[in-house]
Amino acid sequence: MNVRTDLATEAREMVNQSRTAEKEIEGVSYSEKKEESFTVSKVIVDEIGAEKIGKKPGTYRTIYSDAIKKQDTKLQQQTARVLAKELSQIMNECGIDSNASGLIVGLGNRNVTPDALGPIVMDKILVTNHLFVHEPSYVKDGYRRVSTIVPGVMGVTGIETSELIHGIIKEIKPDFVIAIDALASRSIERVNATIQLSDTGIHPGSGVGNTRKEISQETLGIPVIAIGVPTVVDAVTIASDAMDYVLKHIGRELEEIDRPSKALAPGGMVFGKKVLTKKDMPTKDRQETILGMFGTLKETEKRALMQEVLTPLGHNLMVTPKEIDGYIKDMAHLIAEATNASLHENVTLDNFGSYTR
């Protein structure tokens, strides 16, 4: 479980903040588009930008979809189609052609539900390498050589994940790697609501403080594409986000207190889903009035303080939604459908469901 590919969202926030301050981050470009009913953001970081923001140079994409949370099958199919398109684009940008062989890696611990995304996806990937090796006459055009591996975690195997993958690469010699993992999110809103892709590789375990050797083109010698989904969030993030929601709630209440419609609504009754935005955040003066000294802290200072308080006490817990069993099952199926469609020409955006178990 890691946090590396959370950069797509973090970089977007950095870019937005710099635009607000009427300046751009040199070496970092951000774009956003609509695919079907979802927003897809793309962040490109070059060598200069990497030094500016302290992140690895590369391309990062984030698909924002609440299809899993809503348990909406139609939206999940739409999300899979969008993911397949974005994954195919990254593969093209990495110079991976239709005949290139691939190793798909399911990172994580199958015995820990929020960390089992990678292993469960591997159960649904269309594997063909053995057919190319032993029964090539049965393989039609439109399929590529695909192998999968679930290396487990170092606490179970006692072996660095990157070393296991490196050893397999030496034997089967794939042309590229796709690594799928669960992430630790830095926002409550992104848990099970974003799918993040990058061409910069991945650091297994970094999201829970157990950083292992990175899995990247630099370490493996072939392109590595990472797909990640935030499935857990730590107590520091929950506490920080909760304080922001409180401030936004109070800010909206103060703005709406004199509206006639407010007087007509029964106390404590909410109609529909309530959405709080940055526009609801009260001014700095009001924040200080509401929360005292705590209200004057910057976001980074607030998180640092909570980290300083909770970690020594052993209370910086990793938390996942109570519905995580169903979320992981649905997300694994979604990612497998999209991956199968991206890997094989005969598996299209219209028929990928027929090839996914």
Give the model confidence (pLDDT) of 322-346 as tens digits. Answer: 999 999 999 999 999 999 999 999 9
> In this predicted structure, what is the pLDDT of residue 18?
47
Sign of the torsion angle spanned by Cα atoms 282, 284, 285, 287: positive
**Which range, of 53-67, 223-237, 294-308, averages the lowest pLDDT?**
294-308
Q: Which residues, other chains included, contact 68 with Cβ-Cβ below 8 Å and sequence gap of 6+?
A: 76, 79, 192, 193, 327, 330, 331, 334
Instruction: Give pLDDT tens digits for 126-140.
Output: 999 999 999 988 888
> In this predicted structure, what is the pLDDT of residue 261?
56
Degrees (nearest 5) of the Cα angle 76, 15, 38? 15
pLDDT band at 270 (very low <50, low <70, confident <90, very high): low
**Which range, of 52-66, 140-154, 247-261, 316-330, averages the lowest pLDDT?**
247-261
Instruction: Give pLDDT tens digits for 295-316.
Output: 888 888 888 999 999 989 988 8
Segment 38-66 shows an average pLDDT of 91
C-alpha to C-alpha distance for 30 and 158, rounded to whole angstroms: 40
Q: Is the predicted pLDDT of residue 67 greater than 70, yes or no?
A: yes
Segment 110-125 shows an average pLDDT of 96
C-alpha to C-alpha distance for 110 and 123, rounded to whole angstroms: 11
